[in-house]
Amino acid sequence: MKETLICTEVREASLLPGPSVLAYTFSMKEPMDWISLAISYEELNWLQIFVKDPDGFIRMQYTGNKQSERILLGRLQENCSVGSVPGDIRAGTWKTEMIAYARDEEGVLKLEWKHGKGVSAESSTLPIAIGTPWVTLNGNDRYEQEPINRSTGWYKGDFHMHTSLSDGKQSPEQLMQSSLRQQLDFIVVTEHNHRHTAWPSHDRLLALPGMEVTAFQGHWNVLGIMDWLPLYDEDGTLTIEDAEGMNRIIAAAREQGAVCSLNHPYLAPWDWRFGRTEMSLFHAIEIWNDPTYEGNAEAAERALKLWDACWGRGLRLTGIGGSDTHLLPHESYMEGGPPSLAGDPATYVYCDELSGDQLLAAVKKGRCIVSRGPVLEPCIYSGGRKVLPGDQVVIHAQSAVPIRYSIAIKGMKEKGKMIWLLNGLNVFEADVNADRPYVYETEWAGDIYRWLRVELRSEYGTLLAFINPIYANPIGCASLTWEEVNAEL
């Protein structure tokens, strides 16, 4: 067999401060066994690379973490960096597209392509992609997995996580083990503008593909992504940095059946600033992001007010949480501080079974509880009928409907207060001092729109958990922009 090793060429570019989209091509005269791309750069604070095959399919992905890196694509999965799609490496013109943000000084980017046949593949500086394929070349990108558990009940998980494919420190295998140690039932892996192409499987943990769409003016999560999203157009315009373009991206994700969640809306400098965002395009808001990160406690309190403002206008978004984990399990953002862990906070979702379709459907219905530790199990009855968080209470015109809202607590390690909020206002409090049920009873009558949600706080007012609302007599919300809802706060 003839051996071939070719260094196609080296390209170097100088980037002016600000966002840029660059595209380079390289050609192969015959099919190859592998391609490697060496990347080095200076004075860039953000670099993302997408390598497309002659059919325009994204085969390699990279987010800049270091000054120098090498990623690998092969016909076989064991010759692929994490984020690459194995398969035939055809002759023809390949395209490298880059999203780069230079610092105040001029940035420098250098690329070197190599490809080989009949010789050993170069090594990758990123982990090798192992596990079940999530993306294939045959056009069938929908990841199917048998349900992990066919029982109906509450399942614990994390909707916001990063690995070494983008700017996280853990490999996929490490993140899986971290999640299992935290006794999670499900995770959604949400890399910045990338999606994993393969993932290690486990019979006790449901893992779903996701993506954190990341722009200078804000971030949001695609939970259950099935296809690539158009982050820039054919002319190289960054649609993710334009409000109308971002609306189109969110709409495209919805068409896939994914859950669209607005991330850490008030955590600067990653707070949401697209004023013309149509809020009804989102299914959920990440109310609570990694509580160990400085500023997130205040950001969560503001997000709770935003959530109530949306509900007040008739936009019934689901409130969820996410650890946004980036670090190794023993690491903290503060010297001597608590570690930043998967599942902190955890989102509990009530599902008919633990499967991808059921999990996403339950989030859209609002069947969620978010907690940093205490396990809450609500038992809600409306006129003798059991309802769940996210459900509508039916009120008949001629009679009042009794509401009995009981919450059992496990794992409460301090004194606290259970607070029931009607339309965002405190209507009842119960002192929490033991693991037992706490009950609020009331009656609802008439055709008034109302919603009732619950918070658990420490005796000092620190947020410990919250439960999504039940509601009655919903009103419509034709349009509500980010700018409009913030003007009410």
pLDDT digits (tens, 9 = 90+) for 75-87: 999 999 999 999 9
Q: How far is CA 462 from CA 264, 294, 417, in A?
A: 18, 15, 10
pLDDT at residue 294 tops 70: yes
Distance CA 414, CA 176 (A): 30
Residue 235: per-residue pLDDT: 80
Q: Contact at 8 Å (CB) between 461 and 381?
A: no
Q: How far is CA 451 from CA 456, 467, 469, in A?
A: 17, 12, 6
Distance CA 408, CA 435 (A): 7
Mean pLDDT of 289-311: 97
SS3 255: helix
Residue 106: per-residue pLDDT: 74
Q: Contact at 8 Å (CB) between 254 and 260?
A: yes
pLDDT at residue 319 tops 70: yes
Tokens (6 digits) for 316: 């019934």
Q: How far is CA 35 from CA 17, 65, 79, 91, 169, in A?
A: 30, 21, 9, 12, 25
Residue 107: per-residue pLDDT: 78
Q: What percent of the chain has pLDDT over 90?
A: 78
Confidence of residue 384 (pLDDT cuts 50, 70, 90): confident
Q: Contact at 8 Å (CB) between 73 and 80?
A: yes
Distance CA 359, CA 382 (A): 25
pLDDT digits (tens, 9 = 90+) for 467-480: 999 999 999 898 99
pLDDT digits (tens, 9 = 90+) for 331-379: 999 988 999 999 999 999 999 999 999 999 999 999 999 999 999 999 9
Confidence of residue 1 (pLDDT cuts 50, 70, 90): very low
pLDDT at residue 6 tops 70: no
Residue 57: per-residue pLDDT: 93
pLDDT at residue 10 tops 70: no
Indicate the range of 4-18, 135-149, 220-234 predicted with least confidence: 4-18
Which helix (H) or strand (E) is 360 found in, with range? Answer: helix 356-365
User: pLDDT higher for 144 or 293?
Assistant: 293
Mean pLDDT of 139-146: 64
pLDDT at residue 465 tops 90: yes
pLDDT digits (tens, 9 = 90+) for 247-293: 999 999 999 999 999 999 999 999 999 999 999 999 999 999 999 99
Mean pLDDT of 321-330: 96
Residue 121: per-residue pLDDT: 86
Mean pLDDT of 461-466: 98
Burial of 105 (0-12, 13-18, 19+ CB in 10 A): exposed
Residue 120: per-residue pLDDT: 87
Tokens (6 digits) for 309: 């403002």
pLDDT at residue 11 tops 90: no
Tokens (6 digits) for 347: 């989102």
Confidence of residue 5 (pLDDT cuts 50, 70, 90): low
Helices (H), 102-259: 172-181, 243-255
Indicate the range of 106-120, 163-177, 345-359 predicted with least confidence: 106-120
pLDDT at residue 116 tops 70: yes
Distance CA 67, CA 40 (A): 5
SS3 286: strand
Residue 244: per-residue pLDDT: 94
pLDDT at residue 140 tops 60: no
Confidence of residue 438 (pLDDT cuts 50, 70, 90): very high
Give, rounded to a whole angstrom, the gap between the first and last alpha carbons of the chain.
Answer: 70
Mean pLDDT of 415-444: 96
